[in-house]
Structure 1
């Protein structure tokens, strides 16, 4: 596991507390209530010791290439900390963000991209349909290791797809060998950057790259989530926080995710969670989370067979 920055240390501490609370809740209740009362109900303390999340499955290989309107490269070592970078590039009346376009030749889908600091990010969640790979966790099975919320294709158009950590890392080595064998029940040694399931020329961000993003947009303000969350769709019934300002064009949507317990889809309008390519341990991958109830972003650990969103960053 890579060394954590001060932001990650703070986030890890918050995430660990949320995780422990969730584990205690699971121990006391059998219901499937939302993150409004259970902040992380697919991150439980149970070990996924009988999962097949696609980490050892074979799949059809397909070629992929990317076209982008910019040749700028992302950087995990250069952080812009000017006051203008923290203010953002969008207001209610003007949008001065620098956008690009990413075409995934595997399926022809086009994604909006945005430059934040020195990094180029997808401004939408990945929606590449990695299918025909069986999933099994306890009694729950599926013919796919990527899903649309509620198995509704319209939600894939809206939110992108959810992926297990093994598939996000491309553990079977279809597109690159950098994340090969990074599945459940094992410690892996990826070679960074990990392309994973991302289109060619892009990769799954690691903890350090997420750190750079949050430092640029937050600058220690603890409002990383607020400025990256979309301006609509977030629940605010309990907290009156809800929507973000999206002043950097990142447009994080409250997608929720897919639990590996019961295979249920949970917490639409409450949470946005994105995989990191940095492993936590043999059973958990790192992820970053934004929520309806707070303005900051946290580093959390999520069980590898859970279905979570993917945002890619340019090489």
Structure 2
């Protein structure tokens, strides 16, 4: 199953064999044996490409779950003997501000050198789904206040307003504060339509009866800063993030959009490595999700 997953993820038998540290013939032989046992082919092979068959598409997600369960069982046994091993797969949005992620991961590695740490940056929706499916152990996400994703445990880490960022030559660069009506006259550099990051801004403008165009859609705060710096549009980011964007002017906004930064982990409970990571953040790994005082809403899909 590990070999099948590797081929599916790398798109080829040679690269999969390199990832799994085996010779290609051995990997191909094992996959052929599995296909014989299953009575169907998992891959369509040509001289130029390797693609999953319909059966392969159905097999790979279940295989991932089985492999992860085996890894989890091994980690639980080792943890019971006092050694935390296994993996810690962390997801994070590019605007995470509630923690210094590099510092947190560095301290965790120093305390648990036997754990394999990985980090995936992405949009909140895909990170939540990664936690649900077990591909990620924990994820730092940002949502419209009051929104709570289903199928995961949740801890609110921070709540704050967004600020506007403009190029130094922009007309608004000579002011310290503005309002949504003035910003609605501008073109925005923003995250994709329908994403959690985009909804944070859209919700505030809609509540004020305003709309704003965003002809430039990006997926990282670094790209946002580059386009705003080129004076192609303006952006809105959390205040803590804005302070790290060099060469941009920051404005406070009256009735500004707000967001909650959340940490999520699997509703079935964390692995030993994830439990240690949560404990390091002062979170009881067994705690139930924190709920908003308002009625709970599930996050909308992108």
Superposition TM-score tier, normalisation by shorter sequence: under 0.3
- TM-score, with normalisation over the residues of structure 2? 0.22
- TM-score, with normalisation over the residues of structure 1? 0.21
Greater helix fraction, Structure 1 or Structure 2: 2
